[in-house]
Amino acid sequence: RGLSVQDLYELALPYWQKAGFLPAEVSPEAKEHAQRILEQLQSRIKLMADVAESAQFFFVDDYPYQPKVVQKILTKPHTEAILKYVYGVIQDTPELDEEHVKPLFQVGMQKFGIKMGDLIQPLRVALTGTNI
Our count of domains for the chain comes to 2
Q: Is the dihedral of CA 76, 78, 82, 88 positive or negative?
A: positive
Looking at the predicted structure, is the pLDDT value of residue 1 above 90? no
- pLDDT, tens digit (0-9, with 9 covering 90-100), for 36-66: 999 989 988 889 988 998 898 899 888 888 9
**53 and 82 belong to one structural domain:** no
Percent of the chain with pLDDT strictly greater than 90: 70
Confidence of residue 96 (pLDDT cuts 50, 70, 90): confident
Q: Tell me, yes or no, whether 17 and 46 share the same domain.
A: yes
Q: What are phi and psi of 52, to 5 degrees?
A: -70, -45
Q: What's this model's pTM, rounded to 2 decimal places?
A: 0.71
In this structure, are 51 and 76 located in the same domain?
no
| 118 and 72 both lie in a single domain | yes
